[in-house]
Amino acid sequence: MKSAVQPYSRTDVEPGLTKIILFEIVFPMILLILGITMGLLQVLFRAGIIKSQSFLGINYYQGLTLHGAINAIVFTTFFAVAFGHAVIRFYTGKPLLLGAAWWSLILMTVGTIMAAIPMLTGSASVLYTFYPPLKAHPAFYIGLVLLVIGSWVAFFSWIPVFQKWKRENPGTKMPLAVLGVFATFIVWFIATIPVAIEIIVLLIPWSLGWTQTVNVPLARMLFWFFGHPLVYFWLLPAYVMYYTMLPKLTGGKLYSDFAGRFTFMWLIAFSAPIGIHHQYTEPGISTTWKFVHAFFTMLVAIPSLVTAFTLAASMEHGARKSGGTGLFGWWKKLPWLDTDRWMFAYLFCGLFIFIFGGITGIINASYSLDNVVHNTAWMPAHFHQTVAGPVFLAFIGGSLLLLSTLGGKEIALKRLNVWIPYLWTLGIMVFSTGLFIGGIAGEPRRTNMGLSYTNPASPLYQPSWNVARVAGTIGGVIMFLTMLLYFVIFFGTLLRKKTSEGVLELPVTEPYHDEDIVALQSLRPWLVSTVILLIVAYTMPFVELAKARYEGAPRYSPASPVALRK
């Protein structure tokens, strides 16, 4: 189906920046082949189809570490930086600071390779949450730090570019996409400070043997101070695409500019003071502060609810402009399988999955309800409906968009491409349904169940978990096959001959209601609120930890119950 709407606007880009963005898209995509393969192995191990510690020389927990680190940390960080470069360049119309962009690329790439080597050789099988006192090779921690610093360099290099734009355009509102990218990286900056303290002050000296023990409750609180805003760092670039691309792709306008600005500002303020909702079942934190974090977590759901409404209204506006009528009849006018507006399917499917990811997120945050689902298979089900749903679809769609426009190449297998998000949605929904059911029944996450709970020869065999694991496996296989098709399209496009000069082409959405609310004109009051909220949410929990003086833990290898000497 061909579209009548031409949704794309164009900007010429310096060849240096094109090279940087294309590298930051292609390099993590190559790693993603490994990450996705590890995902397939996880479901086969868990289902008991592979009944062993290792497959093809890769231990289950080593593969799990690779799956999480590549898919959720490396791929997402690289894409966020590449996308940020593109958005800032496109909307300010100003050349970026290429030197800084190169340094950012080099730091992130070196860091990734440094962390990948111990993971691949099996000396960092600590999962991407790297809870001490399980110890990884120091290169793993140092590599992660370099990856993060590289992303900071990119962020800082955009600020002077934007300030120049602002001086030249007094009285003009900050473009919504630019606000979204800044929100993404402000959240990321807030998140990465506590984890940098955890890694640099606690873990690196301890892993090198300079200090003998580590305070585990403190390390865990610092980790989750990072761990929750991390998910908004993943989600925000997808939100930028939803607000600034999706309405245009349907042929309409963004229903409310206010809703977009409110969402980004609110997420800056409330994404971080809520990390303790990951620690409900832990000792060392009083129930008072667990409840405060539960309350703040509920508040962070508000912008997502507002987003759901605004985007539905925007899509309806687009569909009605394209001739849609009736209470539900306008749905037929959305560009479901339009090969020119293929990004619509990637974004829409992500939003559909996020309905379930969002609801289960509210369930997880609901204080004592967490007792039922904490650390069970329910969690990866929720996780795949959020980071592997809206985030992942927006990021692989965005990667393909940047590759084809900046590379000046036609997308390979266009008609297949538009089906990818639907197949992925099917896979995610089947997979997650299985894991939700298994989680409620007590099936643990992150467990090589094929050797115990799903193995009829084991005394731990749990036949009542079988329905869940069958659904999980079928869904996982669908996801894997879908990604194989995606890789054929992505790398097929990459290897094609250039058919035009590479330019940056993005769908640009105009607002339908373009309100100017005083409270949303400047970031400053929101940044001040953010700091105040963080002080309120975390001062007393850290004081409680300091007062309790927990004895430290020595180093452990995941392979031995005997503490390591050095």
Report 506-545 residues binding other proteins (CB under 8 A).
511-515, 517, 544
Contact string 270-309 vs other proteins (x = CB under 8 A):
---------xxxxxxxxx--xx--xx--xx-xx--xx--x
Contact string 481-510 vs other proteins (x = CB under 8 A):
------------------------------
Which pair of structure tokens corresponds to residue 219?
């390390």
Nearest CB to other proteins, comparing residues 47 and 64: 64
Nearest CB to other proteins, comparing residues 301 and 534: 301
CB of 310 to other proteins, least distance (A): 7
CB of 538 to other proteins, least distance (A): 15
CA atoms of 377 and 56, how far apart (whole Å)? 25
Nearest CB to other proteins, comparing residues 216 and 485: 216
CB of 312 to other proteins, least distance (A): 11
SS3 of 92-146: HCCCCCHHHHHHHHHHHHHHHHHHHHHHHCCCCCCCCCCCCCECCCHHHHHHHHH
Considering only 253, 382, 384, 469, the residue that binds other proteins (CB under 8 A) is 253
CA atoms within 13 A on the CB side of 266: 19
Q: Tell me how crowded residue 231 is: count the other CB atoms within 10 A of its CB.
A: 18
Task: Please classify residue 99 by burial: count the beta carbons closer than 10 Å to its beta carbon, then call 0-12 exposed, 13-18 middle and 19+ buried.
Answer: exposed
Considering only 259, 396, 468, 537, the residue that binds other proteins (CB under 8 A) is 259
Which pair of structure tokens corresponds to residue 360?
């289960």
Nearest CB to other proteins, comparing residues 286 and 539: 286
Considering only 4, 460, 484, 535, the residue that binds other proteins (CB under 8 A) is 460
Considering only 3, 53, 212, 529, the residue that binds other proteins (CB under 8 A) is 53
Which pair of structure tokens corresponds to residue 331?
């749905």
| Residues 367-406 interacting with other proteins (rule: CB under 8 A) | 367-372, 374-376
Nearest CB to other proteins, comparing residues 112 and 376: 376
Considering only 92, 104, 112, 125, the residue that binds other proteins (CB under 8 A) is 125
Catalytic site positions: 228, 232, 382-384, 445-446
Which pair of structure tokens corresponds to residue 107?
């730091």
Contact string 312-351 vs other proteins (x = CB under 8 A):
----------------------------------------
CA-derived radius of gyration, the chain: 23
Report the Cα 350 to chain-centroid distance in Å. 12
Longest dimension (CA), the chain: 73
Nearest CB to other proteins, comparing residues 189 and 556: 556
| Packed helices 302-321 and 343-365: angle between N→C axes, nearest 10 degrees | 150
CB of 367 to other proteins, least distance (A): 5
SS3 of 303-370: HHHHHHHHHHHHHHHHHHHCCCCCCCHHHHHCCCCCCCCCHHHHHHHHHHHHHHHHHHHHHHHCHHHH
Considering only 102, 152, 422, 550, the residue that binds other proteins (CB under 8 A) is 550
∠ CA 525-234-489, rounded to 5°: 140
Residue whose token pair is 């020119």: 340
Which pair of structure tokens corresponds to residue 71?
């898919």
Considering only 8, 61, 182, 348, the residue that binds other proteins (CB under 8 A) is 61
Q: Using the rule CB under 8 A, is 55 a contact of other proteins? A: no
| Residues 428-457 interacting with other proteins (rule: CB under 8 A) | 441-442, 444-449, 451-453, 457
Nearest to 405 by CA among 89, 140, 142, 165: 89
Nearest CB to other proteins, comparing residues 81 and 435: 435
CB of 51 to other proteins, least distance (A): 10
Considering only 18, 37, 42, 59, the residue that binds other proteins (CB under 8 A) is 59
Considering only 151, 310, 314, 530, the residue that binds other proteins (CB under 8 A) is 310
Nearest CB to other proteins, comparing residues 99 and 542: 542
Nearest CB to other proteins, comparing residues 408 and 525: 525
Nearest to 77 by CA among 185, 164, 170, 1: 185
Nearest to 8 by CA among 346, 317, 245, 313: 245
> Residues in contact with other proteins, total (CB under 8 A)?
87
Contact string 206-245 vs other proteins (x = CB under 8 A):
---------xxx--x-------------------------
269 with 190: CB under 8 angstroms?
no
